[in-house]
Amino acid sequence: MKLLDRVALVAKRLHYSANTITCYQRWIAEFLSFCRDNGRWRQPAELGASHVQAFLTHLAVHRKVAASTQNQATNAIVFLYRRVLVDELPADHLGKFVAERSKRPVRIPTVLSTDEVSRIIAAMESTGEAGRPRTLMVQLLYGTGMRLMEVHQLRLRDLDFDRGQILIRQGKGDKDRLVMMPQRLRAPLLEQARRVRALHQRDLARGRGFAPVPDVLLNKVPYAADDWRWQFLFPSQSAAPITIERQRADGTIAAEQRYVRHHAAVGVLDRFIRAAVRNAGVSKRVTAHTFRHSFATHLLEAGYDIRQVQTLLGHQRLETTMIYTHVMNKPAIAVSSPLDRLVAATA
């Protein structure tokens, strides 16, 4: 079995997310490629702390990556040696790099004013019917504080209209949490859910009404893949073929091809946001995550308890949420500048 396939198997056994698995495979491949000797691929057992140090130095000096990106690469390499090759190499094979991480600088997040949020959403709404689902996604980002992938991965079953809640499943850290359903979005969400169910019915008629579901659920509830409740709230434009393997009672493997409709592509929303920001005349650099920052800051400015905001954001540590207290409109920073007083005195 190839090394990267072993990495994926171990990570799946430990219930790492698909994004983390892909990320670790990419960094391990880059590390091994960097350490080639005159084009010859070297076995991980031949590489040690000095090679890891050279690779991380290369990332910082030549690639000029951020500290968080460098730490991501370190985590992937440590995972390879401590989890995948644990029975083949001594525990101290990498030495100090098992615990070493780069110091991440503390940055104050970009936060939009309520007027800027209104202008950006108005610019999105002006795109008409074509931009309606993406506008709704941005409204959810700002109205609930969800992360970008959490919005993309919402399924119809996660909407609780009776209780006015949205259930976010398997968020960061594989944790579930509840957020409010903004009253303003109740009708648009109902309409979007109706559209998805109609699309699902058309897919079923063509034998393509499947949604990707966890393997554990597929084994327990085989019909879940074509159940409308598991359809993504914001589906992709087309269905893609995948091969499903199942084990029969006699131990043999049965392969079946299905056309699965995944969630919408992430990059499409990024481009939509950039265009709306430009059309709204907002000068700040705005990403999908900026709306999450704005959600948290505006709640704190409205007087809500920081613990409530921490729960809504799904932060494990309160210190992570406290970064938003640095960008609030607080009386302590609403003082008159001495330059303004100087001008007033000489006027």
Closest CA to 134 of 279, 266, 228: 266
Nearest 10 degrees: CA dihedral of 233, 236, 237, 240?
-130
Q: Catalytic residue at 315?
A: yes
Catalytic residue among 36, 101, 289, 326: 289
Q: Tokens for 325, please give them.
A: 């207290």
323 in Cβ contact with 315 (< 8 Å): no
**Residues 200 and 158 sit within 8 Å (Cβ to Cβ):** no
Identify the CA nearest to 268 among candidates 175, 103, 130, 159.
Answer: 130
64 is catalytic: no
Nearest CA-CA partner of 329 in 114, 106, 20? 114
Which one of 147, 177, 195, 262 is the catalytic residue?
A: 147
E-strand stretches of the chain: 159-160, 165-168, 177-180, 240-247, 253-260
In this structure, the dihedral spanned by the alpha carbons of residues 163, 197, 132 and 238, taken in order and rounded to 10 degrees, is: 140
For 1, the token pair is 């079995």
CA 21, 31, 148, 306 torsion: positive or negative? positive
Other CB atoms within 10 Å distance of the CB of residue 139: 21
Check 119, 261, 293, 315 and give the catalytic one.
315
Q: What is the DSSP letter of 45?
A: G
103 is catalytic: no
Q: From the candidates 93, 263, 292, 298, which is the catalytic residue?
A: 292
- 125's tokens: 């709404």
Residue 223 annotated among the catalytic residues of the structure: no
Of 238, 269, 233, 261, nearest to 134 by C-alpha is 269
How many alpha carbons fall within 13 Å on the CB side of residue 295?
Answer: 25
Strand partners, 93: none
51 is catalytic: no
Catalytic residue among 6, 172, 177, 262: 172
Told to judge if 147 belongs to the known catalytic residues of this protein, a careful annotator would answer yes
Tell me the catalytic residues: 147, 172, 289, 292, 315, 324
